[in-house]
Amino acid sequence: MEELDDRTAVVTGAGSGIGRGIALVLAERGADVVVSDIDPGAAQAVADEVRSLGRAAHAIPADVTDRVSTDALAAVAVERLSQIDILVNNAGVGGAPGWWQRSNPSPEDWEATYDVNVIGIVNTTSSFQDHLKERRSGRIVNIASGAGRRGTGGFAHYSATKAAAINVSQGYALQLAPYDINVNCVCPGLLWTPLWEKIAERDRIKSGETVLTGRQVFDRRLEASTPLGREQTPEDVGKLAAFLASGRSRNITGQSINLNGGSYMN
Ligand SMILES: NC(=O)c1ccc[n+]([C@@H]2O[C@H](COP(=O)([O-])OP(=O)(O)OC[C@H]3O[C@@H](n4cnc5c(N)ncnc54)[C@H](O)[C@@H]3O)[C@@H](O)[C@H]2O)c1
């Protein structure tokens, strides 16, 4: 018996990086998974991987910035899987398209990060909450960031949205507690995903770096900031999300849990 047997999960932004890792770990722990992403091909590829683990998987594309799209996601997810137990709000961006080529965030970067990283959580949670409330049970896991714990020079637009994601999660935790729905946040540190490849490229452009590769820029940041000395992985985040989605965390709600090798300790 696996800890998530007979559970059903929806993961947004699951076509890449951390979201993919979460979808795969939830499936390994026994859950059937709706793999959602704005990129339909990426969602389909990860759904195929979930199926190869022996679980049911449905690729349902959705843009979390658009409430019509997240309402459709909720309707189709419930139709396909009958019920949804776990919602993971993972989709996130570092800015508007091409943000990594700008050394300073533009107004569009501020708007795009807010739309995806904050309103995305609000839209998707709003679309699923009636279903979860009716069933008087559910788990919501929001992926914030260590960047939401304190300001970051030159990346304030992103940090601000992650601080908001932590705060919004506390609000939903209070609002949904009477329905036995737990809402928690994970604050990851440094993971080498397509998002971080873009951050490294931006850092290289900003500093005029010509010798180090993006991966070396990442390694340097890791070494300078992380007491445990190793990068975190999508699988690490998946394991924490699985715990927060399981019966073992039934009295944990409104918390934001750092998963960062010790880089921030608040
Ligand atoms: N990589 C890190 O070091 C790190 C650290 C802390 C927090 N995070 C957070 O983890 C989450 C995942 O990041 P990642 O590193 O895997 O990034 P990623 O770029 O690899 O994946 C993000 C996914 O979100 C999808 N997406 C983007 N906009 C969307 C939208 N409007 N609707 C639906 N899907 C959308 C993308 O298509 C992509 O598949 C993000 O919220 C990010 O802020 C990442």
- Provide the pLDDT for residue 2: 77
Rounded Cα distance between 53 and 250, Å, is 27
Amino acid at 70: T
Q: Tell me if 145 CB under 6 Å of ligand 1.
A: yes
Token pair for 251:
């009295």
For the chain, first and last CA: distance in Å?
Answer: 35
Burial class (CB in 10 A: 0-12, 13-18, 19+), 175: middle
- Provide the pLDDT for residue 209: 84
Closest-lying ligand 1 atom to the alpha carbon of residue 158: 43
Backbone angles phi, psi at 63, to 5 degrees: -105, 110
- Using DSSP, state whether 57 is helix, strand or coil: strand
Distance from the alpha carbon of residue 126 to the mean position of ligand 1, in angstroms: 20
- Provide the pLDDT for residue 153: 86
Do strands 8-11 and 32-35 pair parallel, antiparallel, or not at all (unpaired)? parallel
- Provide the pLDDT for residue 22: 99
> How distant, in Å, are the alpha carbons of 117, 147, 203, 204 from that of 207?
27, 20, 6, 5
Domains along the chain? 8-190+234-259 (3.40.50.720)
Q: At CA 124, angle to CA 117 and CA 100, rounded to 5?
A: 25
- Provide the pLDDT for residue 266: 79
Q: Say which of 158, 172, 179, 264 is annotated catalytic.
A: 158
Q: Which residues pair with residue 140 across a beta bridge? A: 87, 183
DSSP 15: T
Distance from the alpha carbon of residue 193 to the mean position of ligand 1, in angstroms: 9
Rounded Cα distance between 103 and 206, Å, is 5
Distance from the alpha carbon of residue 1 to the mean position of ligand 1, in angstroms: 31
CA 96 remoteness from chain centre: 18
| Residue 179 is among the residues annotated as catalytic for this protein | no
Q: What is the mean pLDDT of each run of 10 residues along the chain (266 residues)?
A: 91 98 98 98 98 98 98 98 98 97 95 98 98 98 97 93 98 98 98 97 89 94 97 98 97 98 92
Q: Which residues pair with residue 33 across a beta bridge? A: 9, 57
